[in-house]
Structure 1
Amino acid sequence: MSDLDQLTQSLARNLKRWRGERGFTLDALAARAGVSRGMIIQIEQARTNPSVGTTVKLADALGVSITTLLDYEQGPQVRVVPESQAVRMWSTPAGSRTTLLVGTEARGPLEMWSWTLMPGDGSSSDPHPPGTTELIHVTAGELTLVVDGEPHPVPAGASATFEANVPHIYRNDGARTCELVMAVSIPPAR
């Protein structure tokens, strides 16, 4: 696949994804961006390469960067946040504190889960609806997070986020119990 073909496919996939996540109809996005409905359809069907100006207008209307809209990434993106990169928001002399572990842009229902995985145990998940995002924080042991066949070690104190619209597995390959907290953001039903 040529670079141009890859760009066309990436833009089509991302435009459709972000328009869906924002809940915009074709007409609503066209009005917000000042781009014709027909042009948006052609872009989403990967039948045309729009000008840079048109691409910038669409990114602005969706509230994302042009880099996000043109992202070539072919699979789900997983971001592991080491404990050292978590952001302490406030603390008191008595020891109370809040820490922003990991965040993502998402709309719709949000679930929070507590998990315990014994050594050698695991749980597989089928793909969730497009736009579903999971946030994980490991509090003990080490989680092996397998997303679309690729393993990602997430040690105690680290956090991760990924798009859950592909098969994924939560696995404890270690000798210690793995404990984690998970939040799942599900796109609103339409």
Structure 2
Amino acid sequence: MNDTTGTDLNQRIAQRVGGLRAARGLSLDALAAQCGVSRSMISLIERGESSPTAVMLDKLATGLGVPLASLFDAPEPAANPVARLADQPPWRDPHSGYVRRNVSPSGVGSPLQIVEVSFPPQARVAYETGAREPLVHQQIWVLDGRIEVTLGDDRHRLEAGDCLAHRLDRPVTYHNPTRRTARYAVVIAAVPWK
């Protein structure tokens, strides 16, 4: 991933966060109170002047009521049902070094999103948020290598070919305990609460 791609994706994230916040009628202070990210950091992210971590983006997504993957959607969704590889820019988490790529086309009205992740050796990412609205279901399918996923107090060791289905209703930690990069796909579906 080159620096230009990272800068472009940070601008995309900036536009999405600002647009979602405005659409919900939230001030910077209100969103900060909802998600636990400071007002000044949200402002920096919305101006594209910060490289937020995956954990910070997850908090923002939870506060905005959307899945994390939707923060990477194009601001002007294409109605094209095909997402070409060239239209799926990778994003690197500045904290863990993991690289994610939204595979699904944005703006087609599907309740599903697919994300591909390349997870470096010994990397760990801990998402602290619990229950979300809408409720988010996801399945993690390990394509290569091995990862550990901890959901609350439950730890799952996943090998290539294994698939874990769960709801995002408690803290989640991803860990690659090995010395080689792991690759996995995440399939996400948001379901409104009744």
TM-score normalised over the length of structure 1: 0.40
Select the structure of larger CA radius of gyration.
1
TM-score normalised over the length of structure 2: 0.39
- Larger RCO, structure (CA 8 Å, separation 6 or more): 1
